[in-house]
Chains A and B, each alone.
Chain A
Amino acid sequence: MSALGQTAGELRRAVDEARAGWSRVAWITVAAVALAPLVPFLSLPGVRLDSLADTVYLAVAATGLGLTVGAAGLPSLGAGAFMAIGAFTSALLVARSGWPLGPAVLAGAAAALVAGLISGGIVRLRGAFVAAGTWLLAWLVWLFLLAFPSVSGGSQGLILPPKTLFGLNATPTVHFEVALVLLIVTALAIAAVRRGAPGLELVALRQAPRLATSLGVPLGRRRLGAFAASAFVAGLAGALSVQLAAVADPTAYDPFLSFKLLVAVLLGGAAATLGPAAGVAALGLIGLVSDPLARALQLPLERFDTAVAAILLVFVLALGGGGIVPWLRRFFPLQRRTAQAGLVGARRGREQASAGPVLQAIELRKTFGGVVALDGLSLQVARGETVALVGPNGSGKTTALRLISGAEPPDAGRVLFDGRALTGERTPDRVRLGVARTLQATAYFPELTALESVLVGRSVRRHFGGAIRTALSTPNARREAHDSEARAREALDLVGLAGVSYVPTPELTTSQRRLVALAAALAGEPEVLLVDELAAGAGSEELEHIAEVVGRIRGRGIAVLLVEHNLRLVRLAADRVLVLAAGRSVAEGSVAEVADSDVVRRAYLGTQRL
């Protein structure tokens, strides 16, 4: 009796906790998901189950596309091409080679994945090229299907024999349930990825690609991951929906399908995981109204559908709306749960610090066209030492940082990190090794808070937080997420900004944004920190704070190379100063020594006397 009462009490508590943690939207979503599988058994009037199942498959593909368009910000006009590839691969395998349905569907999705990976090189390009490339892909696949009736079955299409799915006859009801499960799984996986570190990095790359890559986030790889995942999901949806239709008809894969998917994503809201599915539902409802209207006006049906979708999109865009789901959210204020303070994990065991300089540059040379930017610059920085690089504009300071950080290769000379030559390593590799850099420009991530911005810098220290593990929420991935957050807070604390962790970056001052960028670089646990113009535009109080921050960083044993115009900061923070003029070092020494030197005065002021 008491055991029963205890159980009931536990259950009640669990429900209470869930109620406290979940927003109203989450409850409505759960209720909808719980009721949806019952739809086929309700025999709703005027609703055909096969077209309903087909709509859900379309929603699956659109949800997948949401990752590419929403999170990664890639304007893809080619999602339908991946559906077509999945559809015709599986259709050919079933119709011609007699494969069972399951393997054929997986093969279709795999084919779409391969196509996504091959064409995925375009994700490294600017938006205009991504759009143009995916547009080409959509037309390529369609023209191919039209030109090769041997593959596509020509004007009749490929007729598919009835098959079984999971041991059941593949009736529309079975397809509907399968599509629903697929939709839920896809949405959950994408939501987890978007909330986790990979999603954060995609957002960072979308908003400020230069800043994100300087923090070591690999642009090509992250975006390709999102693009290929969307392709895989679209291929899966295409492969299943073609079996539902029982015929693979090339005309159904007109490039308009790709456009329709994009419309669904934008209509429903690219920013929300469930937005694309809501967009597909909205398009379906509009179809229910527009079809009878088109019949009444005696217009060819599919064309009318097209025009309606196009006009609708234009309206959504013109109103500047974020789509249906973000609009609905205004009525259900989401309480965003603030993440709890993380558990501080064990510090990464650093290898025994070797004696001698941790960073060495030897005879670096770089010319741009005919202009010599660096003319044999050598320097070294030891652990816990702060070296300032000063000199007039155009003397090669920033170029030196770019060469050391791997943003550009030198024409001649070497960079040694801990005695090891860095040659082929690009920026992300060097950040991972421990050479981080902050940018001169005050780029920031306008949609992220200070803490989230700093978390972007943790990307080089992720081992278990890949997209798949994040989606599955493995114990390691969860532990790592906690650990990352603790480190990010530590870094924010180090630059004195712990108080603004949850403030969106646009609300910070310029000087605070620079410090956030510095904290992001620190979050990657660098051993060498290259800092470009930290004090630009800072007031005198801010300057003292910055000097203090640099002192604290040095106290951690990090080697700091400071490019700075503000000589007051140099005086406050630097152990040693290196004066650059016309690409070469003209003086070196303590702050006092250098300030008195004639060479320096000449370098800054020319030969004229004041």
Chain B
Amino acid sequence: MTIALQVFVTGLAAGGVYGLFAAGHTLIYRLTGMVNFAFGDLVGLGVFATLLVLAGTAPVTQSGAHEPRFLGALVVGLVFCVSAGILTYFGLVQPYLARGSTIGWVAGTAAVAFAIRAAIGAAFQRSSYVFPDPLPFHRVGHAGFIRIGGAQVQARAFFVIGLALALALGSAWLLEKSRFGRALRAVADDAEGARVVGVPVDLLVALAFGLVGAFAMIAAIAAAPGQAVNANTGTLLGLKGLVAALAVRFGPPLLAFGAGLLLGVVESAIANVHLGSWQFGPSYREVLPLAFVLLLIAIWPSREALEEQE
């Protein structure tokens, strides 16, 4: 029971971040019919830009950040993430969508993904880095751990879960109520129709491209001090988000967020839970959900996913 709670909370915290990536993937798919393979790396770019401003490329300690400096670094990171996303859209996505060339945007976004990963790897050459923590979680509970009925849970986990939920609900509200959101929904329903009635489709989609990156990046940074980060961090988060989004077949963004939460909990359970003497163990944590979703779309695809046939 105690371990179950620990697994659940840890999983939710990881899943909250996955969920924002999943919501971003599904929103972009619904707007454009494409998958941004550089999504995770664009966020990784923002995270490492933040780290660069905060601490350079040298190793840092957990408590190396002060709040004003941290906020400044965060803004720089967000600017990097959003503008790189917008540039990617205008340079490597929109031209190919207009031409109807799938291979173009697939290869283009994958190229951006690997180029960013290479750039981060070249600047940050250690195998992993510690992300400085602006919030003094180590002072909460026992060195950052809270005891709930025998279970040890990172205090940060609750903060990450709350923040991810707030971001997800906030973006859902934005999509539902704001003019920007209404216009986006119009584009998702019928891009040509929206264009005809004067909605600046490309500009809106480019903004959405940047903004989903910003939302995901804030969640990723909130969770970052909890574990080591490296050039693969962003890529893997993007991948997990895609897995969750595919699991709900690019359904509504909030559903995708839920799938992300579930993916986090499932991963955590695979790594820790054992039934009697039998358990999967941490090695299976990443591969099992991936394999499951791959088989899911290969064997049991949704009708909308099928290539148009007679």
Contact = CB atoms under 8 A, between A and B. Distances in A.
Given A219-B309, A303-B118, A135 B37 contact: yes
B35 interface: yes
A209 B309 CA distance: 6
A94 to B, nearest CB: 24
B32 to A, nearest CB: 9
A125 interface: yes
Contacts of B293: 136
A14 interface: no
Interface string A72-114: 0101010000000000000000000000000000000000000
Given A124-B301, A259-B114, A300-B125, A119 B308 contact: no
Interface string A195-228: 0000000000000011101100001000000000
B242 interface: yes
B309 A213 contact: yes
A309 B114 contact: yes
B104, B114, B282, B297 — which one has the most chain A CB atoms within 10 A of its CB? B114
Contacts of B298: 118-122, 133
B290 A143 contact: yes
A313 B293 CA distance: 29
B92 interface: yes
Contact of A133 (B114, B286, B297): B297
Interface stretch (B105-113, B144-152, B200-208): B105-113
B197 interface: no
Contact of B121 (A127, A140, A213, A300): A300
Contacts of A263: 107, 111
Contacts of B33: 126, 128
Chain B interface residue number, banded? 35 or more
Interface in B83-98: 91-92, 95-96
Q: Is the interface of B mostly helix, strand, loop or mixed?
A: helix
A209 B102 CA distance: 15
A73, A124, A427 — which one has the most chain B CB atoms within 10 A of its CB? A124
A439 B308 CA distance: 13
A248 B190 CA distance: 50
A494 B294 CA distance: 48
Interface string B117-147: 1110110010000000000000000000000
B307 A131 contact: no
Contact of B306 (A126, A137, A256, A311): A126
A485 to B, nearest CB: 25
Contact of B290 (A69, A139, A317): A139
B310 to A, nearest CB: 4
B110 A259 contact: yes
A73 B35 contact: no
Interface in A172-208: none
Interface in A33-89: 69, 73, 75, 77
A131 B121 contact: no
B180 interface: no
B112, B283, B287 — which one has the most chain A CB atoms within 10 A of its CB? B287
A69 B104 CA distance: 12
A399 to B, nearest CB: 14
Interface string B241-283: 0110010000000000000000000000000000000000011
A592 interface: no
A147 B108 contact: no
Given A136-B294, A266-B107, A427 B119 contact: no
11 contacts: A73-B102, A209-B308, A214-B310, A266-B107, A303-B117, A303-B119, A303-B122, A306-B117, A313-B107, A313-B111, A427-B310
Given A209-B307, A310-B112, A317-B96, 10 more contacts: A118-B295, A133-B298, A147-B284, A147-B285, A209-B309, A213-B309, A270-B103, A309-B114, A314-B91, A317-B107
For the complex of A and B, 7 pairs with smallest distance between CB atoms: A121-B298, A127-B102, A214-B310, A310-B115, A310-B111, A75-B106, A306-B118
